[in-house]
Structure 1
Amino acid sequence: MDSIHMYGGNFLRGETKIQGSKNAVLPILAASLLIKGTCVIENCPRIADVYHMQNLLQELGCTVTWSGNQITVDASYVNENSMGGESVRRMRSSVMLLGALLGRIGEVAMTYPGGCVIGKRPIDLHLTSLSQMGVEIVEEEYHFTAKVKKLKGVDYTMPFPSVGATENMILAAALAEGTTVIRNAAKEPEITALCEFLKAAGANIEGVETKVLTITGVKELHEVKYKVPNDRIVAGTYLIAALACSGSIFLEQAPIEHLHALIETAKHMGGNITVNGDGLGIDVIRRIKAIPCLKTEVYDGFPTDLQSQIMAAMAVAKGESIIEETIFENRFRIVDELRKMGADIRTEKNRAYIIGRKRLEGAVVEAEELRGGAALVVAGLSAKGKTVVNNRHFIERGYEDICRDFRNLGADINIG
């Protein structure tokens, strides 16, 4: 069965280790295409999206091998420029291979990527920015082609600080002729990780962690070994679960420096946060308080990837909360499923109005996407009785083993 079963209502207690970052490792794997040799990537999470990326790299001619949570990519030979099939259709991040392939062989043919229902997420920003670098793009109904004789550096201002489009421009610019300046660039930690990986391989990148990136193209990149940072969204999901369920947990190797917005929110809701060199702890001893208004923003504001999870916690908070979603227009798909569990939530355009209840009721609910699925698990752990979350495969796109991790924290949860 493609489901997760849990009996909720228990306090969470214990500790669990945070996996490597999904959103960091995928563009790094794409970047390995730029290196005519072998790259070793440590702390790589064993999740569905990484396996899809592995399949795509192998289809392009790379050799990819695993050893524990270490993945080795040998991109000495790239003999294919066409990408289609299930891995592209099921994974949005397959678009990251666009900039890398253009940098490596100058030609790409691919079907439009899929993998998400949380919003339109058009790839127009990706294609427009790359076209400024001399790429000729021909779009058809189900696929497109992109060609360039030689990528040229450009001074370009992003109309919106898109993480994916910024990453694609970085990948294309690393081996381009001349200097590329990306203004209004995204500055999420995953952008920093990609830049660190490329710099370790010999790329010339300045302005990391700022909104203006300057990339001077180099002739070639060399082999590199790199450790992926830990996943801030996984850590945030588990921290929010402690808010919803109460208890005392410790998140080993949580990337504290990337969780400031969530930590402040957790404190306002009544969580007692402790931080040390090994990770982050949270103690919740009484019912959490509502947040009058929480707004999702680009980094370093409150992340949209934690909005569904915090909504699940707000559903059992004392008082009334408002969430304003500013990144993706369809992030409220979880609302109907939470209502099945007794949540009092109404939506109006990009706002959700939540009146907290003391306890949700267990129910059979359907995950429709990655973060919403994880949020339903959070809701189920806080609810009275049994909850079944169907479509587990969505959750496995980003969580290595969510059942194992929550069992480490004392939850009664298993694969159905």
Structure 2
Amino acid sequence: MDKFVITGKNKLSGTVTVSGAKNASLALMPATILASGMYHLYNTPVLQDVLTMIELLETMGIESRLDEHILTIDTSRISKYEAPYELVKRMRASIYVLGPLVGRFGRAKVSLPGGCAWGPRPVNLHIEGIRKLGADIEIESGYIVAKAKSLKGARILFDISSVGATGNVLMAAVLAKGETIIENAAQEPEIVQLAEFLVKMGAKIDGIGTGRLTIQGVDELHPADIVTIPDRIEAGTFLVAGALAGEKNGIVRIEKCNPQHLGAVIVKLEDAGAKINIGENWIELTPPEEIEPVNVTTAIYPGFPTDMQAQWTALMALSTGSCIVTDTIYFDRFKHVPELVRLGANITVKENVATVVGVKKLTGAKVMSTDLRASASLILAGLAAEGTTEVLRVYHIDRGYESIEKKLQALGANIRREKYDEF
């Protein structure tokens, strides 16, 4: 097993390039099920979750090759319509194959998902949405078993805006007969790109980027190519790294990003005292003289993303006062807090609210990753801590950050990857 060993207090400056978005890739890849042929997904990140999705698609007879961040997919030989537990348990996004399989083939058998180790993320919105399109769905021995002679358009209202459910129902609806309207649809950039990809494949979708999607079903789709959008969460993580451990009066420059996808994060960083300049596809940050305490409440896009909550908590641990961090998306997403406390942070959690009282310094210690974004927060805290921090179980971070240690090294961080025996 791997760990990161970090010697803190090295000041960061320089340029880092953002990879393609994990959450966009994990939606685009299953969308290729919808039409037979060859696809090229450019700017695909080399991540464990992407490799798991490739493995899942290959069990269905789909051929894939990932080379130099170009993912080539051939869906002309699909022969199986099942997503087995052995793969789905490793990644919740595996459920994205449900909609395309039912939409194109009228059947699917998908294991109930696993993935991150925190909080319930129910799949009922996915199931009910596809059921409204006319599929017969049962839960049998831990599997979602769906059958449909043909899907028919329907009006679907999500009680909660859900990225996964929006994507899944959207992929099923593009081949359904008639009109489908999805109300309270997710508006995240990853869903916008999925919809744009489906349009390139021949789908008819209006309202892209809004909370109301209108889909006119078509008889068939065709293959297409697309360039994956930049990962906004990776970009936000490096911005927080610059604010937390950046060189005084220095600049951390984030390249190949989309600043428009990071509006809420940028505003909050400026509130915390950082100076930020923005270009078409780059962001420059100069760290604050002192980190001002800033309250954050997570929200659906374009609000402050829940995937940045842990990193923000780490930043606020070294602020000059106290603040409140509230997660309204996932109530149980504070597993990083006890580990930050091991580094000297003063944080208390009650239900879905963390109260952070800034301290003058953090001190290196051995800490353990519990999920993807928690891992990122511990690395950021380790960069700012005095002494040596060891972050264990970094397989979590490899799910969503491509070579994060190498990118941080390029900014001047003293971080290295080492093998260790856990037990």
Which category of TM-score, normalised to the shorter sequence, fits these structures? over 0.9
Q: After superposition, where does 1:334-413 map in structure 2 within 5 Å?
A: 334-413=336-415
Q: Give the whole-Å Cα distance in 1 for the aligned partners of 2:235 and 2:133.
A: 37
User: In structure 2, what residue type is equivalent to 1:37?
Assistant: G
Native 8 Å contact 1:96 1:164 kept in 2: yes
Match of 2:285 among 276, 282, 287: 282
Task: List per-residue Cα deviations over 1:175-231 (Å, max 9, x = no partner).
Answer: 111111000111000110001111111110000010000011111111211000000
After superposing the two structures, state which structure 1 stretch, 140-149 or 308-317, moved more. Answer: 140-149
Native 8 Å contact 2:259 2:280 kept in 1: no
In the other structure, the counterpart of 2:115 is: 115
Unaligned runs of 5+ in 2: 419-423
Task: List per-residue Cα deviations over 1:119-144 (Å, max 9, x = no partner).
Answer: 10010111011111111111134222
Task: List per-residue Cα deviations over 1:342-394 (Å, max 9, x = no partner).
Answer: 10000111110000112111111110110111111111111111111111110
Q: 1:246, CA displacement in angstroms?
A: 2.8
Q: After superposition, where does 1:242-391 map in structure 2 within 5 Å?
A: 242-247=242-247, 248-291=251-294, 293-391=295-393
Task: List per-residue Cα deviations over 1:208-261 (Å, max 9, x = no partner).
Answer: 010000011111111211000000000000101111113220001121010000
Native 8 Å contact 1:118 1:329 kept in 2: no
User: In structure 2, what residue type is equivalent to 1:266?
Assistant: L
Task: List per-residue Cα deviations over 1:102-155 (Å, max 9, x = no partner).
Answer: 112111112211111231001011101111111111113422211111011101
Q: Give the whole-Å Cα distance in 2 for the aligned partners of 1:306 and 1:244.
A: 14
Q: Give the fraction of aligned pairs with identical amino acids, expressed as a percent.
A: 39
Aligned to 1:250, the other structure's residue is in SS state: strand
In the other structure, the counterpart of 1:135 is: 135
Native 8 Å contact 2:259 2:281 kept in 1: no
Native 8 Å contact 2:26 2:50 kept in 1: yes
Q: Give the whole-Å Cα distance in 1 for the aligned partners of 2:412 and 2:257.
A: 19
Q: 1:278, CA displacement in angstroms?
A: 4.2
Unaligned runs of 5+ in 1: none
Q: Give the whole-Å Cα distance in 2 for the aligned partners of 1:202 and 1:299.
A: 27
User: In structure 2, what residue type is equivalent to 1:36?
Assistant: S
Native 8 Å contact 1:4 1:413 kept in 2: yes
Q: Give the whole-Å Cα distance in 2 for the aligned partners of 1:377 and 1:144.
A: 37
Superposition CA RMSD, Å: 1.0
Native 8 Å contact 2:203 2:221 kept in 1: yes
- How many residues get paired? 415
Q: 1:86, CA displacement in angstroms?
A: 3.0
TM-score, normalising length: structure 1: 0.98
